[in-house]
Amino acid sequence: MPFPSKNGLKITQIDVNDVRFPTSLGGHGSDALHTDPNYSCAYVTTTTENGKQGFGLTFTCGRGTEIVVLTVRAMKKFILGRNAAEIFADFAGFWRAITNDSQMRWLGPEKGVVHLAVAAILNSLWDLWARLENKPLWRLLVDLTPEELVSTIDFRYITDVITKDEAIKLLKDKLARKDEKVKELSEKGYPAYTTQVGWMGYSDALVKELCNKYLDLGFQHFKVKVGLNLEDDIRRCTAVRKYIGDDKVLMVDANQAWSVGEAIEWMKKLAPLKPMWIEEPTSPDDVLGHAAISKALRPYGIGVATGEMCANRVMFKQFLQSGGMQYCQIDSARIGGVNEILSVYLMAEKLKVKVCPHAGGVGLCEMVQHLQFWDYACVSGTMEGRLIEYVDQQHEHFYDPCVVENARYLAPKLPGYSTKMLPETLKKFSYPKGSEWQHMFKEGIFPRPDEAELVNV
Amino acid sequence: MPFPSKNGLKITQIDVNDVRFPTSLGGHGSDALHTDPNYSCAYVTTTTENGKQGFGLTFTCGRGTEIVVLTVRAMKKFILGRNAAEIFADFAGFWRAITNDSQMRWLGPEKGVVHLAVAAILNSLWDLWARLENKPLWRLLVDLTPEELVSTIDFRYITDVITKDEAIKLLKDKLARKDEKVKELSEKGYPAYTTQVGWMGYSDALVKELCNKYLDLGFQHFKVKVGLNLEDDIRRCTAVRKYIGDDKVLMVDANQAWSVGEAIEWMKKLAPLKPMWIEEPTSPDDVLGHAAISKALRPYGIGVATGEMCANRVMFKQFLQSGGMQYCQIDSARIGGVNEILSVYLMAEKLKVKVCPHAGGVGLCEMVQHLQFWDYACVSGTMEGRLIEYVDQQHEHFYDPCVVENARYLAPKLPGYSTKMLPETLKKFSYPKGSEWQHMFKEGIFPRPDEAELVNV
């Protein structure tokens, strides 16, 4: 497949919206460290001279989304006037340029706000590319030759684990079964797990109701939030284990609540309930800490999962090298777009670590399904021990929401990265001018934002 | 020493300025990855009800400073109306609250833009505290009891290396010689090294001139930028070695230019010139990579130095644990203010790693001297193998600039953290409205900023 022709693809406009949903009102998404998130995103629309558009986003938790919005604006100067086809033909070079501006890299580098902004922009460019090819993103990725795919990745700082040539060879070795895998994905989809049964803020009655609901929907894997209170965790996990039975899989998620020592001790107490993994036991930056926890919990059959707050490919590299993660939870909107995520999948395959993407939030389920489908078709070639997280929230805001049936993500069929939002959503939930927010301010449900938050209107 | 009385200390105002200096015009500060920095800062002024003020800053490289400014504004809501004395009395609790807002922590956590903003705010609060006590910051730190000092630190995620009780004991064990050390510091100051001779953009003639200048000024330690071109590095390091002689110390700094393998091979080539350390050989996030480089270069007598872009205490913890740094280069404006830096000094002491602070930029020399003076008086108690970086730039903008004589930092004497800027500087260099910037825009020396950068005026 040649890269798209340059004709009409000069990028003439980049728009960015601050979109927030008042999810804190229902306790949805609450965990040990995030007690009142308003699931939100910075939403980027990239438009070319001939009117083609790409839509991308990065997920946020409410306050501070305006900072990511301003950062996207500050990065416009690196993109406006460039030709999208030229960007795709040297995508790694473009990635290096936008993540390593000699002045702005001090603000990261490659982490936090600046990298979230890069993710939103890059995601919009990948969406644009897939739309130009008239394919869902996963099919675009599957159809790229190994050389073309690898040309989108900046290998700086990861060559001690995988070089460009090794990556090409790895992909070539998997080519033979690709068509068969694509067919299988198109027919059967990919297994999902649910995080819906065990949010910290949910009542016992709601937990029971949700367990039954998701069992009825065919789910085999259930995740519960832990980490605030051991007795409460034991009570809730025991309840979930009872409702789902011993033949189903339980995972637990501490959302960074513990020190290294606490994580080990706490999980020994939960071990009788047979959780498959403990997710985010401690600081997302603590590679060596995760390695120590992994080692201590191996005798109990508990793996360590992390990644949703892993800053970039260099951090993932070390988690993978060190034995600090047995389940690699890539996030589609934190590290620098599809380009950098592809490099994490390739490192994970080389080091034989299972990738189970983080999802939920806003648009994350929509995005990660494409990545995991590509992984099955072209990289790992297996679903063994692999799952995509599923949370049934905020899908109604997208043109092409993910579809989960019988606890499996069905193959996305429409062109793009499934990241385009409905115009009604933008009208209602743009912050702070959207009609829903104006209504909630008026009713006193949320305070009107102060000057600082209005800067970006 | 009791904490200050609450009287009149309610925080009523927080102002933040975007201050930029056109340093890229002279090639000052250029290195392998930062080819045209305009040394800048987000400058925070905190004012209390009774008119007391504290001044703090975080360093930046130009573009994107407005993002840090907006982030400081977004954090105002966590501080305005709080009483400064109450903050100091539970400084660790305040630190936890401002770094872990349940919505905003997704933007970091504890790294990048949000942590730079925290640094600027916290630095202004420490400056305020020292001014209230009428002491330079290092004397405030020295005069705090071990319990009081440790009460300012959040030990979350670092207790596997040092607990609160261990930190108190470590400080108590050093108390006996404190007065003697303070006297020595007051009389003799603290040794400095110069980074002035080897910026990447400087001509050979300028390098020779500067070597001679700094030799005449009494310097024994000279740092040279490397990493773009091996032949050029050999030529310049050979020249510097010739000018300074074999009895002086050479250090080299790659500013993250290399992969792990490249760093080892490149440094083997420079080893005959006997550099004491290689600074920032690769990604600042690559703990395991730095450990591999350290191990490979040990036989050559070359240590690894890093820290100026180390994101937080959890990353420092791992560099210290893993043998990845032999020289710990804390930065006064990247991690979350004095509170978090104190924890890094304590971990470094426990794990016997030398701290040699990163300085230069804007205000960094002014700040780190206080920290390193405290270290000598209360923590490590030695100057052996320890130095403070010195760059002779941007000091003229401060009320209380650092004074380096005979290659030694002289003890700061005025109250505060030496971070208060002159009003003329703010008038001239506030971006983009300052008179110097308006002049440069008019003359076409720099383009007028676009809408995105004007958002924060």
Chain A residues in contact with B68 by the CB 8 A cut-off are 107
Parse chain B into domains and list their residue ranges: 11-143+421-454, 172-409
The answer, yes or no, to whether residue B362 has pLDDT greater than 90, is yes
From the list A101, A289, A318, the residue facing B160 with the nearest CB is A289
CB contact under 8 A, A34 and B77: no
The pLDDT score that the predictor gives to residue B201 is: 64
Mean residue pLDDT of chain A comes to: 95
**Interface test with chain A among B106, B264, B347, by most A beta carbons within 10 Å:** B106
Reported as a single tens digit per residue, the pLDDT across A317-361 is 999 999 999 999 999 999 999 999 999 999 999 999 999 999 999
- Within 10 Å of residue B6's Cβ, how many Cβ atoms? 12
CB contact under 8 A, A34 and B74: no
CATH, range B11-143+421-454: 3.30.390.10
Nearest to B113 among A112, A314, A455 (CB): A112
Whether the CB of B10 is below 8 Å from some CB of chain A: the reply is: no
> In whole angstroms, what is the distance from residue A281 CA to residue A289 CA?
9
- The answer to whether residue B311 scores a pLDDT higher than 70 is yes
pLDDT of residue B32: 73
Question: In B, residues 306-325, which contact A (CB 8 Å cutoff)?
Answer: 309, 311-312, 314-315, 317-318, 321-322
CB contact under 8 A, A160 and B261: yes
* The CATH fold of domain A174-409: TIM Barrel (3.20.20)
CATH of domain A11-145+421-454: 3.30.390.10
DSSP letter at A411 equals P
Q: Which of B322, B319, B301 is nearest to B310 (CA)?
A: B319
CB contact under 8 A, B61 and A261: no
User: Could you tell me if B303 and B386 are in contact, meaning their C-beta atoms sit under 8 angstroms apart?
Assistant: no
A100 contacts on B by Cβ (under 8 Å) = 33
pLDDT at A457 (0 to 100): 42
Chain A, window 424-453: residues with a beta carbon less than 8 angstroms from a chain B beta carbon: 450-453
pLDDT at site A196: 87
Closest residue of chain A to B60, computed from CA coordinates: A106
Instruction: Note the ipTM here.
Output: 0.96
Distance from CA of A143 to the nearest CA of B (A): 31
Put simply, whether A61 touches B (Cβ < 8 Å) is: yes
Tell me the pLDDT tens digit for each residue of A47-76.
Answer: 999 999 999 999 999 999 999 999 999 999
| Closest residue in chain A to residue B72, using alpha carbons only | A452
Closest CB to A103 among B62, B114, B283: B62
Q: Which residues of B touch A432 (CB under 8 A)?
A: none
pLDDT digits (tens, 9 = 90+) for B316-326: 999 999 999 99
Contacts of residue B303, defined as CB under 8 A and 6 or more positions apart, other chains included, come to B276, B277, B278, B294, B297, B326, B327
CB contact, 8 Å: B70 with chain A? yes
Spell out which residues of chain A touch residue B62, defining contact as CB-CB under 8 Å: 103
Tens of pLDDT, residue by residue over A170-222, are 999 999 999 999 999 999 999 999 998 877 767 788 889 999 999 999 999 99
Any catalytic annotation for residue A358? yes
Is the pLDDT confidence value at B25 over 50?
yes
| Residue A73 touches chain B, beta carbons under 8 Å | yes
Residue A5 DSSP symbol:
P
Q: Which residues of B touch A109 (CB under 8 A)?
A: 256, 284, 309
* Contact (CB, 8 A) for B357 and B390: no
Q: Point out which residues pair with A41 in neighbouring strands.
A: A19, A59
Which pair of tokens denotes residue B359?
A: 């300085």
Q: What is the mean pLDDT of residues A278-292?
A: 98
Across B2-21, average pLDDT:
94
Percentage of chain A exceeding pLDDT 70: 97
Tokens 């676009």 sit on residue: B450
Alpha carbon distances (Å) from B430 to B116, B119, B406, B437? 19, 20, 33, 8
Least confident of A164-173, A226-235, B348-357: A226-235
Query: Is the CB of A160 less than 8 angstroms away from the CB of B62?
Result: no
Picking from B104-113, B204-213, B281-290, which range would have the lowest pLDDT averaged per residue? B204-213
Residue B28 pLDDT: 62
For residue range A112-141, list pLDDT tens digits in order.
999 999 999 999 999 999 999 999 999 999
User: From the list B33, B102, B111, which residue is nearest A105 (CB)?
Assistant: B33
Contacts with A283 from chain B: Cβ below 8 Å:
156-157, 314
Q: Does B110 touch chain A (CB under 8 A)?
A: yes
- A70 to B285: CB separation less than 8 angstroms, yes or no: no
Dihedral (Cα; A22, A335, B322, B345), 10-degree rounding: -50
Cβ contacts from A onto B, under 8 A: 222
A60 to chain B: which residues are within 8 Å by CB? Answer: 103, 106-107
Q: Is the pLDDT of residue A162 over 80?
A: yes
Q: Is B99 on the interface with A (CB under 8 A)?
A: no
**Interchain contact B281–A (C-beta under 8 A):** no
CB-CB contact of A126 with A340 (8 Å): no
Residues of B in contact with A256 (CB under 8 A): 109
Residue A225: active-site member: yes
Q: A residues 255-274 near B, CB within 8 Å?
A: 256, 259-261
Give the CATH number of domain B172-409; options: 1.20.1250.20, 3.40.309.10, 3.20.20.120, 3.40.720.10: 3.20.20.120
Higher pLDDT, A207 or A417: A417
A108: nearest CA in chain B? B112
Q: What is the pLDDT of residue B205?
A: 87
Q: What is the C-alpha to C-alpha distance for residues B213 and A124, in angstroms, rounded to an integer? A: 53
Q: Which of B60, B100, B312 sits opposite A107 (nearest CB)?
A: B60
Q: Mind telling me how many Å the CA of B442 is from chain A's nearest CA? A: 21
Instruction: Choose, from B358, B370, B395, B420, the residue flagged as catalytic.
Output: B358
Q: Is B347 in CB contact (< 8 Å) with chain A?
A: no
Taking the C-alpha atoms of residue B218 and residue B264, their distance in angstroms, rounded to an integer, is: 32
The answer to whether residue B409 scores a pLDDT higher than 90 is yes
Calculate mean pLDDT across residues B433-452.
Answer: 91
Cβ atoms of B117 and B58 within 8 Å: the answer is yes
Q: Which residues pair with B47 in a beta bridge?
A: B13, B53
- Helix (H) and strand (E) counts in chain B: 18, 13
**The length of chain B, given as a count of residues:** 457
Tell me whether A101 touches chain B (CB under 8 Å): yes
**Shortest CA distance from A455: residue in chain B:** B455
Beta strand residue intervals within A358-445, DSSP E: 388-390, 404-405, 408-409
Distance CA B417, CA B346 (A): 20
Q: Which residues in chain A touch residue B103, judged by CB atoms under 8 angstroms apart?
A: 34, 36-38, 60-64
